[in-house]
Structure 1
């Protein structure tokens, strides 16, 4: 650019090039805005049940990228045409490629300027919208709880509820669930599709947590809906396994067992992770009880910082102090812990994977040895 401005003639050409570049990029920005409006209204109003509801900023970025991609294709086609028609005339070919390159440099500069300005405006608008939303929530909750609970924060730490709090909460809205935090205002979800949840106010929320970290197949999965509908229509959505067999259950169990490449040949189905943990504890105990009804094999080894479920048995073998604290007196006492297996934080510099695994295995074996010693001492005291 500096070279071009050193000469009066080239300076005039450069000025014309800049004007044309501004004109072209402005048109591109206007087209992006128009296309973004179309995407926004289409996703939010025209195809509500099919499309994901997109905010305007996301719609703008999508339209900008699509038009930018189309512009890139056009440039590539132009380069191919220049080479195709002038490859026998090197001087003309170089001159045209030089002019095209100069145009692209100017175009790229104004492209960045325009979209930096647009991006800044959108960010400011987004921040204003977010601030208004937060202020609305704060005002709403402040007025709701000011006289009854006298709390200053929506995120008041959980703790023993006071009787006066509970009596006033009994009059609050339509939420009668003990699953919900007493001091927090929850969005009400009325629809879900794929990765998005939708509130009763029409707000779309991207669920990056996958529910409780387990909704990995997404919401509104049509295959699941069809399978549930088919099963319900058969009238056999529940059969007591103590009395009956069910073809669908048998097929599921077979598929699960086969997926382990022969490592497992039996399956026990439960309704949740907590149920599965309880069933595993009972299965291990019953296995040794059936061999010896006086067995002393009763110790369970778990890992530090583990979480295995919400029931008392599952909570007992979960090393989760903050959740265990209210129930310490009724949790199982025959549980011991070994350190978690966390190479990212625990593996020493220069320590190989084999050495790290051996160290963990040694820790586990020492815990087993200690438990066997406890068992032997118990048998000795009983014999005496």
Structure 2
């Protein structure tokens, strides 16, 4: 076991140092679909459309059996990454902490705008005693205890500044606010960035190192030091110029105090890649292979552009054809794959195709 762990650590060190790893590194999530909320048995009773969800409804201890099973399943997959325990990914945590109502749907949980407008919304300050924040940290603490140093604990999907402002005001209202009241919007975006950083700092203070490092949650990428990742999904609604002026400073602030940093990106936001490549403290760009396209082949030119100067993570239901294309056309350094596979057998089959081609 120790030799296996050391080999994985060495591979990750080479990934971060942009050295040749022989092939793309790869980790796996076992899931039949992308509705991750319903993969937790403890969440099933809450998935009633229209049900208002409050933090007291989440029994953290009830989720631990689901986490343990996910961890045990991960041990049956011959992957490069370590499975990462994260606070329940189904909850829009930042939106909840900022006062948005959380509603259940058939397969997921969503937030509703608070009713504030750009005119009425003044400063945004994270309530240090917010019950959703307490629940997030309760999940973190329970996962640390469950881990007992068997697996790392990390950050789940957390919305970025534009996503949070869009959640509070409504997405259309956010766009108009940024265009018509840029100074106030910029101030609120900065405050939202600081709120996000406060949450991550509180979580990081609880987390213990795992074999001398930390891990990027959701993608299972080990890092030799402190790490953070974020997203700006609603950048898709803005222009390149507005991203540069309003959101890039937020990203630079997020990355400033962390050694290992990543941003999650959908194809709808590919137009911001040039700006991201100029952010010196951003180390990784993670790109989704989204349902409905574009395909890996169609994104290959962008992948090549990214990996020239930054590390790349490709996430999605990658097929054998996708993996062959990636190995044929991308360098064997700075590339990490996170594969969504329907079961353990299929996951190992895909990983073996990567190893056989070396």
TM range (shorter): under 0.3
Higher Rg of the two aligned structures: 1
Greater share of helix: 1
More strand by share: 2
What TM-score, normalized to structure 2? 0.22
